[in-house]
Structure 1
Amino acid sequence: MIQSADVREWRDHDVVDAKGHKIGVLEAIYVDTTTDEPAVATVRTGLPTRQRLVFVPLDAAILGPDYLRVPYAKSMVRKAPSIGTDDVLPAEREEAIFQHYDMTYQPGGQGERQLARR
């Protein structure tokens, strides 16, 4: 598991898929609010004039010398839910991220968000 302190050091590094194809650049980390462990990253993709942030889980991510490798195909990540580079993830769109990757979404008992940006 990637530790919270380690992840901050990898901002602006390349994010690659299992085959080494570049997906984009690591922008931010969202932690699971129940464990405070890194859960999802946003990856900056697109043309310089039309960039967006796509979400990718960090459950099986591997750190390399200058990259973060995720076990998802580039095409799958690029189709994931996204936000603008200056936007914030709305609470009602969290579940769509988990559904895209066939993961279980579990908000808090009082309806709290599962993800928080760090």
Structure 2
Amino acid sequence: MFEPEDIREWRGHDVVDPEGRKIGPLEAIYVDTRSDLPAFATVTVGMPTRRRLAFVPLTGATVGPGYLKVRYPRNLVRDSPSIDTDGVLPAEDEPAVFAHYELPYEAGAAGERRLARP
């Protein structure tokens, strides 16, 4: 596991799947607004002319020399909900990100967002 306060320093490092296959470079970290801990990362994926940011959970992620290893296969991450490289995740799209990875989603008691970029 990684230290949550250090993960922001990993921007640009490779994100790899459990088999060590490169998914793409780490772009951003999204924190769970309930715990204020890193919950998801965005990874740059796609062709050079059509880049996008795919979401991947950080639960169970580990770090190695120059990479962040997530516990999800490369194809699952590449098929995950994504945003444009200069886009933002709309609040109404948050449940789809969690559902893609079969993770439970509950908005806050007042309906507040679950994920935010610090």
- 1:29·1:40 contact (CA, 8 Å) conserved in 2? yes
Name the TM-score, length of structure 1 as normaliser.
0.97
Gaps of 5+ in 1: none
2:78 aligns with: 78
What is the distance in 1 between the residues matched to 2:107 and 2:20? 33
Q: 1:8 offset after TM fit, Å?
A: 1.1
Secondary structure of 1:2 counterpart: coil
Moved over 6 A (4+): none
- For the aligned residue pairs, the C-alpha RMSD in angstroms reads 0.9
Counterpart amino acid of 1:24? G
- Identify the structure with the greater strand proportion: 2
Alignment of 1:7-86 (within 5 A): 7-86=7-86
1:109 aligns with: 109
Percent identical among aligned pairs is 60
What is the distance in 2 between the residues matched to 1:2 and 1:38? 10
- Does residue 91 (structure 1) correspond to residue 87 (structure 2)? The answer is no
Aligned residues: 118
Gaps of 5+ in 2: none
Counterpart amino acid of 1:2? F
- 1:2·1:38 contact (CA, 8 Å) conserved in 2? no
- 1:13·1:25 contact (CA, 8 Å) conserved in 2? yes
